[in-house]
Structure 1
């Protein structure tokens, strides 16, 4: 069957799969990306393939989160717009495309998978897992110190920090209804947390809440 013989919906489905797998040429990939931003039906197909192929990410190491500390501090003192970065899917070998698509359809289930979250600063990093409802921090960093506490914040599009609580003990679980892409930050505060609604201590680390597939 040639491309001309394919039904338009089949062509769109194949294009969405190739876009997610990263096997398109640079110009075709950009064209597909731009189409997904304005074509709801095509965007839904892209999302379906991202869910199907999410298991392929297990073959790649977890990359450190981008250093957002200068941007966070600029928004807090004073408030400034936060620039967001868009992450591209890893480029996969062209020879494995057909086998990968077949396995994704027949083998991998579409189910929520906890995602690693890393808040990174100049001298410290906070690691957590996120299942779409709960952030679970394994506090393997040095203690905050006598009379001090680590405090977790969420910063939305309005640039206003909202406290999510204190990070204490070997494991801290934080329930949250935040949307993916929200910026998270950890500040060093007096014991018991910031006295007001805003952080008062230095921002130690920042990261971005991921999408849970």
Structure 2
């Protein structure tokens, strides 16, 4: 059971759920449910975005490492060892109260989750596991902010509007920037709390962790040149879920 389940419907439950989502400790079914809420509930998407920003400095302090094969069994023993394991945690001052444990568990659990998330999508060797990527789009001097999620399984980018408004005679246009290549338009962003943009096969082949999504302010109907003509009001790099 996760901390969000422990809190149930009490106030603050969504805060904890959003934090657990960002840290990467939710079980697969709960994470999938959270993904759906991010796509369809702007308020919950804002909470996830706030926790992304809040926890980013902690993540930057750690270098990525390849976990040994013993990590997964060790996590299972810590989380599912039954009454004896729970008792020893309580005697030590509370497993969940330990900052050192949280830091260690976060890194290990994210690695373990990556394995679990790939299992349902494993196909013959000629196919790749489906990607799930997320980006927080924001900009200096702009109040426009979106949370973007890409799910390769349905070939679309889901956008949750966090803040900022467009002018009545302008449209927001979404762009993908891959390395030093020119920006590629992914389409206009419909007005509303949530939006979904179906992407072309050409863009799907180029989307990967590290690619940048950007939003520019364009004339109604989109850029007339095929490249951004207005100011870029928000941008962010895609990261693996």
Question: With structure 2 as the length reference, what TM-score do the two structures score?
Answer: 0.45
Q: Does residue 145 in structure 1 map to residue 120 in structure 2?
A: no
Report matched runs for 1:97-116 at 5 Å: 99-100=74-75, 104=112, 108=116, 110-111=119-120, 114-116=132-134
1:184 to 213, 228, 235: 213
2:136 to 118, 129, 142: 118
| In structure 1, C-alpha distance between the alignment counterparts of 2:23 and 2:173, rounded to whole Å | 34
* Residue aligned with 2:25, SS: helix
Q: 1:98 to 1:157 in 2, by over 3 A?
A: same
Residue 196 of structure 1 and its aligned partner are, at CA, apart by 0.8
- Indicate conservation of the 8 Å contact 2:185/2:226, yes or no: yes
Q: Could you list the runs of 5+ residues in structure 1 that have no partner in the other structure?
A: 1-53, 67-84, 91-95
Q: 1:146 to 1:175 in 2, by over 3 A?
A: same
- Indicate conservation of the 8 Å contact 1:65/1:118, yes or no: no
Which structure is higher in helix share?
2
Q: Does residue 156 in structure 1 map to residue 178 in structure 2?
A: yes
Give the superposed CA RMSD.
Answer: 4.0
* Residue aligned with 1:58, SS: coil
* Residue aligned with 2:240, SS: coil
| In structure 1, C-alpha distance between the alignment counterparts of 2:174 and 2:54, rounded to whole Å | 19
1:131 to 113, 138, 151: 151
Q: Work out which structure has the larger RCO, using CA pairs closer than 8 Å and 6 or more positions apart in sequence.
A: 1
| In structure 1, C-alpha distance between the alignment counterparts of 2:76 and 2:196, rounded to whole Å | 36
Q: Does residue 195 in structure 1 map to residue 224 in structure 2?
A: yes
Q: Does residue 173 in structure 1 map to residue 196 in structure 2?
A: yes
Residue 210 of structure 1 and its aligned partner are, at CA, apart by 2.5
Report matched runs for 1:52-71 at 5 Å: 57-58=24-25, 61-63=51-53
| In structure 1, C-alpha distance between the alignment counterparts of 2:164 and 2:22, rounded to whole Å | 33
Report matched runs for 1:30-109 at 5 Å: 57-58=24-25, 61-63=51-53, 88-89=63-64, 99-100=74-75, 104=112, 108=116
| In structure 2, C-alpha distance between the alignment counterparts of 1:186 and 1:138, rounded to whole Å | 13
Residue 101 of structure 1 and its aligned partner are, at CA, apart by 6.0
| In structure 1, C-alpha distance between the alignment counterparts of 2:180 and 2:230, rounded to whole Å | 21
Q: Output one character per residue of 1:23-46: Cα deviation in whole Å (capped at 9) or x when no partner.
A: xxxxxxxxxxxxxxxxxxxxxxxx
- Indicate conservation of the 8 Å contact 1:165/1:174, yes or no: yes
* Residue aligned with 1:100, SS: helix
| In structure 1, C-alpha distance between the alignment counterparts of 2:189 and 2:228, rounded to whole Å | 14
